[in-house]
Structure 1
Amino acid sequence: MKLRFEDNTLRLRLSAEEVATFGETGQIASHVPLAPGPDGTLTYALQRAPDNSTAAAETLRVAYLPGRLTVLVPETIARNWVASEEIGLSATLHVADATELRILVEKDLGCRH
């Protein structure tokens, strides 16, 4: 799974295998060692959120703890996305006064010719 930040945009791109794993297990995570020791790793994840949870709220959400960034996708949206030809999911969140974060989750399926 690829993670990209650009200005106020967070983008995750998943290979076909990762999309399948996400569909089966409801989550997928990657780890990037940034410094020595147990606190020196950044974990970023994509996770299904039950539709009845406050995390679902009918749109993509972000949960952040030091060293862990999780994009939460409501269960119904996640299941529909995995099973369809739809390439991407997106949402814009208000994260602070007059500050927005755009979230993109995309299938990275390569060229289809």
Structure 2
Amino acid sequence: MKLRFEDHSLRLRLSEAEVAHFAETGRVAVVVPLGLTVGESLTYALERADSEEFRITHGAGAITVKVPATLAAHWTSTDQNGLSATLMMAENQSLKVLIEKDLDCRH
């Protein structure tokens, strides 16, 4: 899974295998080591949520994007390539969230 930050946006791109894993388990995560100890890492994850809204949680070296279960089910079981939402964050700043399938090109 690829994570990209740009201006006021966060983008996750999942491989076919990661999309399948997310469909099956409701969660996919990546841990990036940023130091010499296990505690010095960044974990970013995509989770299926019971809520009706996109959410982002963060803290203690982790960022989690939570997607409504109904949207997640449709996205993983169809040809739909992406999901997006604009979230209002602290101090009235918006964050655009985009989740995409990073599928191999087929000729």
Shorter chain as denominator, the TM-score bin is over 0.9
Q: TM-score scaled to structure 2, two decimals?
A: 0.94
Matched, 1:89 2:83: yes
CA deviation vs aligned residue, 1:44-85 (integer Å, no higher than 9, x gap): 0000012xxxxx2x2321111120100001111111110010
Aligned to 2:34: 34
The one-letter code sitting in structure 2 at the alignment partner of 1:45 is A
The one-letter code sitting in structure 2 at the alignment partner of 1:108 is D
User: For 2:106, what is the secondary structure of its paired residue?
Assistant: coil
User: For 2:79, what is the secondary structure of its paired residue?
Assistant: coil
Cα RMSD (Å) = 1.0
Aligned equivalents of 2:43 and 2:5: distance in 1? Answer: 14
Uncovered stretches (5+) of structure 2, i.e. residues with no partner: none
Aligned to 2:22: 22
Q: TM-score scaled to structure 1, two decimals?
A: 0.90
Uncovered stretches (5+) of structure 1, i.e. residues with no partner: 51-55
1:38 deviates by 2.9
* TM superposition outliers: structure 1 runs of 4+ over 6 Å: none
